[in-house]
Amino acid sequence: ITLTLMLLAMICLVASLLPAGYIAVKAKHPMVLSVKIWAFSHLLANGETSSVLLFGAFLAWGVILRIALKRRERAGELTLRPFVSGKYDLYAVIIGAIAWALITFKLHELLIGVAPIVM
């Protein structure tokens, strides 16, 4: 489950960095959604106290930030990015899948010291 959720998180992260496609428009705040998915998926995989504190704090931050952004939208203080093209969704999926594979199979172990997949 964690690996699948992380793929979705990477796609949302990439969608937040590209011009707005359907993913960015529907998610409204794809980078915040990406952090929430990342934190939740890591909570599923890690149960020790330090991990629960770290990932739980990130998840709480994401939830609080999303509530604050929604209030700002309603008050007219924040405008969402307009839709540009659906081709950016395809780019987000491709780049997100490549980034996910790189992190999953090599970079996570190099940077964090833990292999997500034990082969």
Per-residue pLDDT tens for 96-113? 999 999 999 999 999 999
Cα R_g (the chain), whole angstroms = 15
Residue 42 lies in a domain: yes
Residue 117 lies in a domain: no
Q: Check residues 4 and 119 and name the one with the higher pLDDT.
A: 4
CA distances to 6, 54, 78, 80, 119 from 104, in Å: 9, 20, 35, 32, 12
The number of folded domains in the chain is 1
Residue 96 lies in a domain: yes
pLDDT digits (tens, 9 = 90+) for 14-71: 999 999 999 999 999 999 999 999 999 999 999 999 999 999 999 999 999 999 999 9
Residue 119 lies in a domain: no
Hey, what are 9's tokens? 């998180």
Report whether 41 contacts 22 (CB < 8 A): no
118: confidence class by pLDDT, cuts 50, 70, 90: confident
